[in-house]
Chains A and B, each alone.
Chain A
Amino acid sequence: MVLPTLFVGIQAIRTNALEGGTLEALGQRLAHSRTYAEVEDAMFNQTQVVWRYLSGDPAAKKEFPLTEQVVDFWLDRWAAGLPSGDVKLADGVRKIETDIRGVAARVFKLYDSGQRQAAYLTARQELVERLQPALAEVNREIYRQAREFSVQRAFSQVAAIVATERRVLWSIIFLALVAGLAASWLISRSLARPLNELRHAMAVVGAGDLDHAIEPRSSDEIGDLARAFAQMTEKLRQSRAQLVQSEKLASIGQMAAGVAHGLRNPLASLRAAAQLAQHRVEGPAAREQLNAIIEQVDRLDQRIAHLLAFSRPAPFRPLRESVRALVDGALSGFAELLRQRRIELAVAVPPTLRVSNALDAMSDGGRLEIAAQSQSGEGAADDVLLEITDSGPGIPAEILPNLCEPFFTTRPEGTGLGLAIAKRYVEETGGRLDIASRIGHGTTVRIWLPVASGDTAPTPVRSLT
């Protein structure tokens, strides 16, 4: 865009210069003509001097040499400025000048010798009738030449300039077209195509396909735009995945709730019927059996409860809890069991349902340690670290990673959900759960919970025992 303008400008300036030159030359020529006018004047003065002398001015004769000098002066000057082709003209003039001087000399001689009439006649014949017309002729020729020459020259110069200019301008136009095409092709390659790709990608993504790949190729603004768009798409994809996930969970939760309800009603009937029978029937044996039935019903109910708790999408309100209160609350459910199994309890602070597992591991005697400490963990907030250590047989290393998986259990009557639920609750509060164990030495469950700040805090653990 700039280049053609630049070229045109340069061309204009050049043309201007050339035209200026032409004008200057023309001016010079005109000046030159004026110089010749001086010659003319000088020569006319010369003849006038002769006539003055003839009409009785004695001083005129003395002036004549001066006029000769003047004529010479102007003639030389004029001749110097003549172009080479016109030197003949100068010769013509000089010849006439020489004639005039000769005639003048003759006229003076005649006049001085008293032949005034002859002098007068000679002057008339030679100067007026012969030389002046000749001079006039030469003058005409000279002026004509000068005119033609200068005008012609100027004309051809300007014509040449115009032609050149036209050529140059056309070539500029042509170049500009070519360059423009080339530039637009280049631009289309480096700009329009990526933009097009981006637009296409946006359309695809907009229609819902979030897996469409966007490869930003350039490192300019288009590339940045593409990168930003790719990032946005990625985020969209993640959040959609999350949404799908939570929808799944929600529908699982709903299904679970439906299933639970559908299962629990018959269970309730079973239990009620069994209990009624137990109440009415005679004989401890029968009562025993009915008791067993009721136990099994309760066990089934437990499983259902675990399932529900696990699959609930968790409208989940973390509450403030003092760690001590947590422990005491949870432990109260275990007091009886602890006593039965003669387990020594050292409480430094709270546990959760993991105590149930620990207790199971220590079926006869042993030591259960529960400790809590404040810890500055990674991340901004401080954590509270709870450690539940038992002195049971420990957990083999191979199954350690599977412990928190749902439905993983080593107990025949376990649901396999307890740890999974605990882990989920802990993680949803923003904490971490870790299990370390050694065969023969016992197991330690570590739970990190974030310290309460503002209005969120460690969650109260729902007792699921």
Chain B
Amino acid sequence: MSGSTVLIVDDEQTLARSAKAFLADHGYEAEVAASGEKALELLESLQPDVVFADVRLPGMSGIDLLKRIREFDPVLPVIMLTAYGSIEGAVEAVKLGAFDYVKKPVDLEELKLLADRARENRLLKQELSYYALRAWWESHPPCMRCSSARARSPRWRTRRRCCSPAKRAPGRVSSPTPSTRQAPAP
């Protein structure tokens, strides 16, 4: 099923492998990265839908990884795992954009449930953004003359033109729509 790729970032091998196997048994495609740097590399190719990251990692910390992920993907759910379990850490992580914060030793069932929730959340968000974009689009029609999708000010909307006849360029595609890859399965 779509939206079921998980990236697990933890240097604790056994835990990571067990989690990967467990998630795989439940229909997820899971990959393991042993450090923040590796995780960033994998993000590119794997395009996960959910990320689990330990707070303590060799090299870059889990929080730093979270920040880096947030730089280029504001909606990717990142769940932090930790052996400390301090409230301050949890608050900080959530403020920085973590989806949730789990204490180690972590129950694998709980892990799976979290992945489910995160995925669902992400899908919902995507659906939401699709509809939002469409709604916006529909309230902002393109220019009738040149079909260009620019100039969305209210002025244009009433006039429905943004250009003089000379500006019209042949072969212009009209009404670009949002990517259908993101469209939710109903």
Contacts and interface: CB of A to CB of B under 8 A. Distances in A.
Interface of A: 257, 260-261, 264-273, 275-276, 279-280, 297-298, 301, 305, 308, 315
B108 A279 contact: yes
Interface residues of B, number: 21
A276 B83 contact: no
Which one of A257, A260, A261 has the greatest number of beta carbons of chain B within 10 Å?
A261
The A contact surface, by secondary structure, is: helix
Which one of A260, A261, A265 has the greatest number of beta carbons of chain B within 10 Å?
A265
Contacts of A266: 12
B14 A260 contact: no
B105 A297 contact: yes
B105 A272 contact: yes
B84 interface: yes
A295 to B, nearest CB: 12
Given A273-B14, A275-B18, A301 B84 contact: no
Interface string B120-151: 00000000000000000000000000000000
B84 A265 contact: no
A465 to B, nearest CB: 15
Contacts of B105: 264, 267-268, 270-272, 297-298, 301
B182 interface: no
Contacts of A315: 88
Nearest to B19: A272
Contacts of B83: 260-261, 264-265, 268
B84 A257 contact: yes
28 contacts: A261-B56, A261-B84, A264-B105, A265-B83, A265-B104, A266-B12, A267-B104, A267-B105, A268-B15, A268-B83, A268-B104, A268-B105, A269-B12, A271-B105, A271-B106, A271-B107, A272-B19, A272-B22, A272-B108, A273-B14, A273-B15, A275-B109, A276-B18, A276-B19, A276-B108, A279-B108, A298-B105, A305-B85
Contacts of A276: 18-19, 21-22, 108
Interface string B20-64: 011001000000000000000000000000000000100000000
Contacts of A275: 18, 22, 107-109
Contacts of A273: 14-15, 18
Contacts of A279: 22, 25, 108
Closest 3 CB pairs of A and B: A269-B14, A264-B83, A272-B18
